Amino acid sequence: MPVFADTRWLQSLAACAFLAAFGPQPAQGLESAGAVNRADTVNRIVGSDVRQEEARTEPQTNKIITAIERTRENIGAVRKTSKLDTVDIVFLTDAARSEGGPPPAVESKVEQHQDDIAELRKEIDANALLFNAIDSRRVLTEDVLAVEFDGSARIVIYAAARPSN
């Protein structure tokens, strides 16, 4: 009987050598020293330009209330959203929990539409694009008060939060 009659061991050895040569490679996290630029990396993941601004609630009260009142119809739009050119996150710094929450007019609308807002937050959690966009700016979904679509290519997310520095 020849020594190489059963070549399965040779095939197994070749497969193991191949796998060992191309073993697991360490991943580069967003926070690692090798990460290019956090904003650029997030924009590549999300595929949209993610911008943020800080604002006081009072000058934008009417826009925020209108967005809250349109939450029911925006839930479906969030569910269907897979591509946006721009995601604008508006930090309503004076409405943050640490500042006592939204002003009474906005808080009243939030309470009136609390079930719809809870559903909107779940849809944002389930939407990879929007979740990664707000997560990149360290916004919790529980801080999202409303969203406003500007056409099919832009969304404004109103968050009762302060940006993390």
110 falls within a domain: yes
- Answer whether residue 87 is part of any domain: yes
Give the chain's domain count: 1
Q: Is residue 27 part of a domain?
A: no
Q: Are 149 and 66 a contacting pair, CB within 8 Å? A: no
Q: Do the domain assignments include residue 69?
A: yes
Q: What are the residues facing 132 on neighbouring strands?
A: none
Where does 27-113 have alpha helices with state H? 38-46, 57-69, 71-80, 104-112
Distance CA 42, CA 61 (A): 30
Q: Are 137 and 157 in contact (CB under 8 A)?
A: no
In a domain, 85, yes or no: yes
Along the 165 residues of the chain, how does pLDDT read in single tens digits?
Answer: 555 556 777 788 777 777 777 766 665 554 555 445 555 656 665 678 899 999 999 898 999 999 999 999 999 999 999 889 999 999 999 988 888 889 999 999 999 999 999 999 999 999 989 999 999 899 999 999 999 998 878 999 999 999 886
The contacts of residue 77 (CB under 8 Å, 6+ apart) are 149
Instruction: Please tell me the predicted confidence (pLDDT) of residue 35.
Output: 47
User: Which range of residues forms the domain containing residue 135?
Assistant: 46-159
The tokens describing 125, both together, are: 């959690």
Taking the C-alpha atoms of residue 29 and residue 31, their distance in angstroms, rounded to an integer, is 5
The pTM of this model reads 0.73
Residue 55 is assigned to a structural domain of this protein: yes
Q: What is the pLDDT of residue 2?
A: 57
pLDDT given at position 62: 94
Q: Is 4 within the bounds of a domain?
A: no
Kindly state whether residue 33 falls inside one of the protein's structural domains: no
